[in-house]
A and B are shown apart, each in its own frame.
Chain A
């Protein structure tokens, strides 16, 4: 079964727009929620992460919103740039498991 559902699969926004990527999870035992950015030919790079005791976290232009009761979390990219065009993955980690379970990814294209 798919433990993490990520949407949308692809997203096109204009430069300066605010793309939002959503993830929903099923298991309440997860305790770490990172987002990764991947460019072609590269490994995933950690962007930002949140723990379930916090509802929002900002780092630069990236913000995670976390809704524990709804079991959802989302990534917002402020003032998006063409250089942000990449595939974004959400992930979850269960307490004590050390295993990242990933969503299927969202391909973001930011057009000038």
Chain B
């Protein structure tokens, strides 16, 4: 069974640009969550989608947005990029029917802002 797939693996952007990251969950998983990982702040929750609906959102500005498609694939968009957005962005998937189910991560997209 294929794991969580994130594309692209690496991205370099400049301040003010926008970026879209993609996540394909494990087959059969309907919940997709996004996390930001930085050395200073650690792993922080961005948002979670289930059946194309955002169920939960973390404390990030509105420049961070996401969506989920009918096949459970998800995209995350960051607009007006800032230097502080440089991070590893991780996607996790789970079956989604209960909050105490395992969440499995992809290897992330490394975003660097110049």
Within 8 A of B (CB), among A58-112: 89, 93-105
Measured CA separation A94–B98 after assembly (Å): 11
Do residues A102 and B43 form an inter-chain contact, with CB atoms below 8 A? yes
Contacts of B90 in A (CB 8 A): 43-44
Do residues A100 and B92 form an inter-chain contact, with CB atoms below 8 A? yes
Q: In the assembled complex, how far is the CB of residue B89 from the closest CB belonging to chain A, in whole angstroms?
A: 10
Do residues B56 and A99 form an inter-chain contact, with CB atoms below 8 A? yes
Do residues B100 and A89 form an inter-chain contact, with CB atoms below 8 A? no
Contact with A along B41-61 (1 / 0, CB 8 A): 011110010100001101000
Contacts of A49 in B (CB 8 A): 102
Do residues A43 and B100 form an inter-chain contact, with CB atoms below 8 A? no
Within 8 A of A (CB), among B57-114: 58, 90, 92, 94, 96, 99-108
> A89-B43, A99-B48, A101-B45 given as contacts; is B100 within 8 A of A32 (CB)?
yes
Measured CA separation A90–B101 after assembly (Å): 15
Contacts of A34 in B (CB 8 A): 102-103
Q: In the assembled complex, how far is the CB of residue B10 from the closest CB belonging to chain A, in whole angstroms?
A: 11
Do residues B104 and A98 form an inter-chain contact, with CB atoms below 8 A? no
**Which of B4, B31, B45 has most chain A Cβ within 10 Å?**
B45
Q: In the assembled complex, how far is the CB of residue A53 from the closest CB belonging to chain B, in whole angstroms?
A: 11
Do residues A99 and B45 form an inter-chain contact, with CB atoms below 8 A? yes
Do residues A46 and B99 form an inter-chain contact, with CB atoms below 8 A? no
Measured CA separation A41–B88 after assembly (Å): 9
* B24 touches A (CB below 8 Å): no
* A56 touches B (CB below 8 Å): no
Contacts of A41 in B (CB 8 A): 107
Q: In the assembled complex, how far is the CB of residue B4 from the closest CB belonging to chain A, in whole angstroms?
A: 8
Q: In the assembled complex, how far is the CB of residue A95 from the closest CB belonging to chain B, in whole angstroms?
A: 6
- 5 A-B pairs, CB-CB below 8 angstroms? A42-B107, A44-B90, A46-B102, A99-B33, A103-B42
